[in-house]
Amino acid sequence: MRPRTARFRPGWILVSTESARLLSDPSQLAVDLTEVQDEGNGVYLMDAGAYRLIKRVAPLPAGVNAEHSLDLTDEDNGVPVVVLTLSDRLPENEIAPILAHSLAESAATVRALAGATTGNAAADRVFGPAGTPDVDAVLRPSDHGLRAELRQRGRMAERGSVSAARGVHKKIRQLALTMGVADEQPNAELRRTLLTTDELAILDRAKNQTRPLEDRADPLGYFGRSVGSSGVSSVLMGTAAAAFTGNPLVGVGIAVPTIVNAAVGSFTERRLDRQRIDGRRPAYDAERKIREQDHPGLPGLLDTPPPTPSSALSTSPSLPPSPSPALSTSSSLPSSPAKKLPMATAWRNYVTRHTVPTLATAAVAGALTPLGVPAMSTAMVIASSALAKSLAERLVDKKKLEFRLKRLDATERVRLADPDLYVSRIAAEFTDLQRRLDQLSPNHQGTPGTGTPGAPDLADVPGAPPYTVSLSSQLIENISGTARRAFVGGSSKPSANPTPVAEHLSPQVQSLLSAAGPGLLGAVTGAMGDQYFLNRDEIARDAAKLWLRGHQEAAQAAALAGVLEPRLRAFRDFTNHLETLTGTPPNQPSGREPTAETTGHGTAGHEPGRQPGREPGRELPAVTAPPVGARPLARAGWSAYAVQAAAGSLGGVAGAVGLGLVVDIPDLALVLTAAGATGTISATPAARFLFRRHELRVHEALETNKAFKAVNQTELRKQRAVARYLLAQLSIQAEAIVEHSAPRPATDPPAETSPRYTDHVRAAVRQAELDHASETPVPERIHALERVDHWAAQVDSSAGLPAARQELRSAIEQYESIADSNGVRKHFPDLGAVDPADGRRVTGGITGQVRAGTALAIRRLAVEPGAKPQLLERLIALEKLDQAANASDHHAVHGTEESRAYVQEKFDQALAEADQMWRDCGVPQGLVLPALSNTPPEPALDEDDKLRRMVHQLLHHQDRTQGLAEHGSTAHDTPTPDASTSPTNHAAGNNTPRRKPDERHNR
């Protein structure tokens, strides 16, 4: 510990001397520093001359603890120079953690410039809520800084006192949220496997019983709101009652029980808020699933039956329990009947919320009564209103939820129906490509199910809840005031000069009017104030939500564009080539013959073979830009809070005064009403406003800690899965078009001793698998194809041993001997008619096998006829499995022993889930994976290469046809080289195996 006098030194002196003391002995810092040489005047030579540190202390903007910059080289000494500026506002106990953070980050930056392994600086850091540590675990300099700060704070907690350790542990919990390693954060469990044992121990020691990601204000915030509103009003009423009666104990009997009720009620109110959130979640989820049916986005292009329209489904409060068949389960199954969902938490939770503070109030009142304090009347007021409040409050909450559901649903439908939404434009791009390929198909029929989703209905966004809801809420709020006037305000006594109306009313009726009348009028005016407030508060909340949603959509669109744009651009170029070579206009509707005006042949002003409507340079849909400017405040202005509080209070006072003119109202009731209104007007707006501001800070921190503005990886996985399927459909259709327009000439089957023989065999297996996927499956044939694939890999691995070749021949003969239920046998595809590029060897271990298997499974699903059970789920499972394979390979190089075990467990789990899903969908063999070849890896043929090969095949066929025509020959008169040995033919070969003729060579 530093001397007490150090606390009174000026900030820049304190920070300068303390940081110099720490650098003089590097062992005090949790940073890997081999040697620090002080060169004087705040200049240090670090790590035996690795870089030079210039330390400064200066004023920095609020919230910035340190800044550092890097100069690549020092002209005099040729070493990098790091200029570190520490804030002169740093407290003494923050100097060491910030210095350790800055030094570790600076050293990592220098190592990165020296060529050491480092992550992409532009991407999110690994230790951050928005990072993706499964596929990017390479630490950035900022990650090294955070870990050093964590270690430094752990040292401080061990060496400090118990009270000091408590404060350090709080800082560590905040740091854990920043690093994304706290419970409930995305990928927190995986990030923790990247930490050392000592770092994990520091995090575990700092834990407490509170939830790290709490979406409610803390208990102190609830306490301040309750006591700041009800407490101030009760104090003013107690003071007024004591002054009016001349007995201070009367004021104590009113104020103390009410304050106790408000204080205890703040904790039960916070607990009820958690139960409210849990009770509303099923209704929100059900509404979201209905919107997904009406606005499916990319999943709407899947070839499944159209989803059940939302008009056929019941809406809130009865909502469907499961999503559309098109989005989840088998499309041939009938939709589940509507199920009534809860719209609020159970009534018992409301009873508990009001009963607990009531019992506490009764206990306090019972303790005060022997002391001469008349507190039982106040306890009776609170007890009488507790049951009514619990029942009525739940009904009002249900009505408010119905309104919010309608408002949210209408807002989301307007957003999803926007044609400029990036996902909508990508779906339109897929539809356009499909239409153009349909036009080029010989039978003018495209792949089923890739139509444009129907245009949804736009809904009007409701402004505020109905007035009746606000009136009901105000009546609940006035129950206590009515009971207080009845039990505490005294009873009406005959007046010496009664009013004409009072002469005809009994004292009991006048007491009832004096108790309930002000509350009724206050409820009416208070409901008006609520409407005024809600009309402004809902607009402010929506503006903030749309701002956040805009940032999330921009991040999502950028991530999706990075995946899809290269493939879509390649398909667009390929389609342009096809249309140019075939003379097909890009915008010609199916079924119409091209004319001179549409084809451009012989038309003035256009090149031959170039269509006027084609736009080869047209850009793909632009990525959504994030909103510009600061985030709007998600709350109404101060004046709205003041009007809301004043409307009901002034209405109650006006009602009491007005009734006093026509009936005899006890003077104490008038005093209590006026005092309560004064307290409400003066304190309630401030209490509610400050609570809302504190609540917004909690929500904003939660958005950061849960990375709400970052990419939704679950949604991106679904979009990627659907896009891969749609691209596979387009690719298969393009292959069919190329095969019809420019068939690849068949060649003699390669010899068994040919190095590419097994590639031909595997290509034939892939062709046969697609053939079987498009017809009624015969399990024996599928198993036989697996055996052929296995022995082809064995031939590769065993360097062509005769035994393996014999087993391969036997496996092919077994396949041809299998007959279906009609007694029909199939020939093994002609090895000379397939492209060996389609049968490249699968290498790379189990992860390479899985990646190849997922691509083949998607192609089999694309040609599968009829209803495809759980299509979307199976596509997502394949994408999840593919990502798990990538994560396993990445952590094998960049991970820790613990992270490798973690991702391997996730990989095994994803593989087992996908295999079981295929079995549940009627595939006895489960998810079939290709056989592995124990040979050196070969470069994979990606989809872009396939498209280029198809274009080359078209051009080669066109050139060959023109050459034969010039020489008066036919195509079959010209010999063609073997595709397996000719580099030219291999490069121009078609990726899609052509349909085999009736008579062919089998081996």
Residue 4 burial class via C-beta count within 10 angstroms: exposed 0-12, middle 13-18, buried 19 and up: exposed
Mean pLDDT of the chain: 80
Whole-angstrom CA distances from 485 to 242, 362, 515, 764 are: 15, 19, 5, 91
In 134-278, which ranges are E strands?
A: none
Residue 521: predicted pLDDT: 85
The pair of three-digit structure tokens given for residue 786, joined into one six-digit string: 């697996």
Per-residue H/E/C for 604-641: CCCCCCCCCCCCCCCCCCCCCCCCCCCCCCCCCCHHHH
CA pseudo-torsion sign 788, 794, 799, 800? negative
Which pLDDT tens digit goes with each residue over 798-857?
Answer: 765 788 889 999 999 999 898 877 888 888 998 888 888 888 888 888 999 999 999 999
- Contact between residue 461 and residue 408 where contact means Cβ atoms under 8 Å apart: no
The CA distances from residue 127 to 207, 592, 889, in Å, are: 18, 59, 20
Quote the pLDDT of residue 937: 66
**Contact 653/525 with Cβ under 8 angstroms?**
no
Give the pLDDT band (50/70/90) at residue 117: low
Q: Which residues, 6 or more positions from 755, have their beta carbon under 8 angstroms from its beta carbon?
A: none
Query: Hey, which of 544-548, 565-569, 755-759, 896-900 has the most confident mean pLDDT?
Result: 896-900
Cα–Cα distance list, 812 to 213, 699, 747, 994, 998 (Å): 60, 64, 20, 19, 18
Q: Report whether pLDDT(37) > 80.
A: yes
Mean pLDDT across 903-915: 96
Distance (Å, rounded) from C-alpha 166 to C-alpha 687? 29
pLDDT at 676: 86
CA distance linking residue 915 with residue 169, whole number of Å: 45
User: Residues 765-790: pLDDT tens digits?
Assistant: 998 888 887 777 788 888 899 999 99
Q: List, in sequence order, every residue forming a beta bridge with 71; answer none if it has no partner.
A: 81
DSSP 8-state secondary structure symbol assigned to residue 54: E
Sorting pLDDT into bands at 50, 70 and 90, what band is 173?
Answer: very high
What per-residue confidence (pLDDT) applies to 972? 43
Confidence bin at 999 (pLDDT 50/70/90): very low
